[in-house]
Structure formats: structure tokens, C-alpha cells
Chain A
Amino acid sequence: MRTVEQTLEEILNLAAEHFRVPRGQLSPDDDFFKALRLDSLQALELLTRLEQHFGVELPDYEFQGVTDFRTLADRIQARL
């Protein structure tokens, strides 16, 4: 079982890799829409890649209002 810190680290690594942002530029409390420069389609892409990586379903309504990586990790952890 992953810890929430491990989940957070994996999210940051995945986001950096897929959206081509240096990992060192991403922090847990960053607004990921701004840090990754996501439009609505890319937000869905991030959701799908997170689902594939963690092997869980992440209903998009649970992410309404979530903008920082740390809260995202909490939501994912609740599904693991």
C-alpha cells in the first residue's frame, strides 16, 4: 500500500513526464492547471493517465475545485 506521500511523488513525476515540465519546477501545493498549463482537454488527459497509472477510477466530479497536487493525491489515495 502506497503512502499518500508516495502517491504525491508519483503524481508529480507523471505530470512532469507527460506534460514536459521539469520535475524540479513542480511542488505539491502548485496549482496544476497553471503549472502544467492545462486546458480542459488536457485536464481530462491527466485524469485518464492518473487512472491508468494507479489502476483506479477517478470520477471527475470528485476533482471539481481541486487544483493543487497535494489535494489531488489525497483524492487518489482514497481510491487506492
Chain B
Amino acid sequence: MREFRGQSLSWQLTDGVCELALHREPANEIGTALLAELEQFVAALDALQNDVRAVILYSRLRSGFSAGADLRELYRRMRGLTAEQRVAGVRQFLERIHAVLNRLDAAPATTIAAVHGVCFGGGLELALACDVMVADKMARFCFPELRLGILPGFGGIPRLKRDVGNAVVRDLLLTGRSINAQRAHAVGLVAQLAAEGQALAVARATAQQAAKFDSAARSRAKQFSKPIPYEELQREIAIFCELFARPAVEEGLRKFVESSAPLPYLP
């Protein structure tokens, strides 16, 4: 298979470059549907690894790259369950998304996230698994999870720590504020800035360049420069589950789901 058209995402492989488009309305929230198609994608990426030299992840939606985890689905699924059942369910989901992001992180091809609009929470965690982040200058980045009484759960802290200084990690995490693309570029989160509407074009040019290189050298360069923090990733799942068991999290999710505020991600 060299192309796929799903409900939440589609991809195609052309001349060594695989482009994956996210298109789950309204804002590419990552729930069970999108996760299942990401699992199919990373399995295909493994099968096609001799043919894929670069991968671009982008969004077809105006809203942006991704608003993060599907909190409405999470809230719907957790209602009526015991605390133990909730934690077991969320742990299973986290193990699955970590498996996907670890495989994307370790893929021998050069992976590029072309980001525009919102890149929040789980969406930022997806982008952080890529090798190079290209951002439209109107993009915004945010880890709002503490506002809900939880931490980023898709590998966000270990991968953010890998890319930027710890003071930046704490600023993003402990304030929950969103930063613009210029700031993200200045702190080293974003590799390349693009004009409005040009992130995909810049990512395509970058992919063409990356695809020229010898595959063995590219793969070894990735392994050497971008080690995957497996132990911290497992620790993150454990901390997330500890926090998730508390009633305050259900209350935080309820407020978010029922909010009609103009900026609903604010507490």
C-alpha cells in the first residue's frame, strides 16, 4: 500500500516522500479514531522503510495542526466508570499512543511536522516526535494540561526537554500559556519559520533536501542526535495515571467540555 484515505487522516508516498494529512474536524483532536489510523500509518511506514526517505505531517484544517487529545471523548468514556476502570482505560490509550509516537520518533526517514494554527497539548506532542518542525508564523504552541489537573501524557515533557532548555519547559508547563511561532523558533522548538500559509511548501522543500542523503547516514545521524528517552516516557505514563485517578480531573474535564467561553482552554 502506497496510499491511504481514512476518516481522520490520509497519506500517500510519492518519490520517496510520504505526506500525511490530518483532517479530523474540528481540530484534529486525537481520540480513538485518529489513534487507530496513526497505528496503521506507522505499521505502513515500517513496511515501506526502504522506500520512504522523508515524511511530512500536516493538517488540512483551517483550525491548525491539532488541538490535542480528544477531551470530549475522554470525558464521555470515563463517566460511569470506577476510578480503577478509568485509570486502566487511560493507561491502555497512553500505551498505544506512546507506541505510535516512539515508532515515528525512531523511523529511519527524516520526519517533518508542518505546523499552522493551533498546536496544543497532544498535537504538540505529535509534532515533537518529528525530527524537524516547520511553523507558519501564525502558529501557536501550548501545553494546557495542568489546567485540567494532569500532565501532558503523550510524551510531551521528555521530548520537550530533549529539544529546549528546562526553563522553557517550566514556563510552558507551569503557566499553560501559548507561545507564538517566533518565540518557539527563538527557544529552539521550531526549526524553520514560514510565511502565512507556506508551512507545507517549506516542509516540502525541506523534505526534498533531506531525501537526497544516504539512508544509512541519515538513520545513524538521527539515532545519535535524537535519542528516545524511553525510561522518562514510561515514568510520564505512571505520573499521568496517578494524577488522572483524582476526582479533580473529572471536574476539570467537565468544565472544559461544558464551557462556552471564547477561550475554552483557559481555566
17 contacts between A and B (CB under 8 A): A38-B262, A40-B262, A40-B264, A43-B262, A45-B138, A47-B178, A49-B138, A57-B179, A57-B180, A59-B175, A59-B177, A60-B266, A61-B175, A61-B176, A63-B263, A64-B263, A64-B267
Question: Any chain A CB within 8 A of the CB of B183?
Answer: yes
- Tell me the B155-211 residues at the A interface (CB within 8 Å): 175-180, 182-183
Question: Any chain A CB within 8 A of the CB of B63?
Answer: yes
A44 and B262: CB pair below 8 A? Answer: no
Chain B residues near A57: list those with CB within 8 A. Answer: 179-180, 183
Contact among B62, B175, B178, B262 for A33, CB-based, below 8 A: B262
Interface size on A, residues (CB 8 A): 19
Work out how many contacts link A and B, with CB atoms closer than 8 A.
47
Chain B interface residues (CB < 8 Å from chain A): 62-64, 117-118, 137-138, 140, 175-180, 182-183, 262-267
A41 and B118: CB pair below 8 A? Answer: yes
Contact among B118, B179, B266 for A64, CB-based, below 8 A: B266
Chain A residues near B140: list those with CB within 8 A. Answer: 44, 47-48
Complex: how many Å from CA A64 to CA B177?
Answer: 11
- Tell me the A39-80 residues at the B interface (CB within 8 Å): 39-41, 43-45, 47-49, 51-52, 57, 59-61, 63-64
A41 and B180: CB pair below 8 A? Answer: no
Contact among A48, A59, A64 for B138, CB-based, below 8 A: A48
Beta-carbon nearest neighbor of B26 in chain A: A41
Residues A60 and B262 in contact in the complex (CB < 8 Å), given A45-B138, A48-B140: no
Q: Shortest Cβ distance from A13 into chain B, in angstroms?
A: 19
Chain A interface residues (CB < 8 Å from chain B): 33, 38-41, 43-45, 47-49, 51-52, 57, 59-61, 63-64
- What 6 pairs between A and B have smallest CB-CB spacing? A59-B177, A64-B266, A33-B262, A48-B180, A60-B178, A48-B138
Complex: how many Å from CA A51 to CA B137?
Answer: 11
Chain A residues near B178: list those with CB within 8 A. Answer: 44, 47, 60
Contact among B64, B179, B182 for A41, CB-based, below 8 A: B64
Chain B residues near A38: list those with CB within 8 A. Answer: 262
Q: A41-B118, A60-B178, A63-B263 are in contact. List 14 more A-B contacts (CB 8 A).
A: A40-B262, A43-B263, A44-B118, A45-B138, A47-B178, A51-B180, A52-B182, A57-B180, A57-B183, A59-B175, A59-B177, A61-B175, A61-B176, A64-B267
Q: Shortest Cβ distance from B265 into chain A, in angstroms?
A: 8
Q: Shortest Cβ distance from B211 into chain A, in angstroms?
A: 32
Chain A residues near B263: list those with CB within 8 A. Answer: 40, 43-44, 60, 63-64
Complex: how many Å from CA A60 to CA B143?
Answer: 13
A41 and B176: CB pair below 8 A? Answer: no
Q: Most chain-B Cβ atoms within 10 A of its Cβ — which of A44, A51, A52, A64?
A: A44
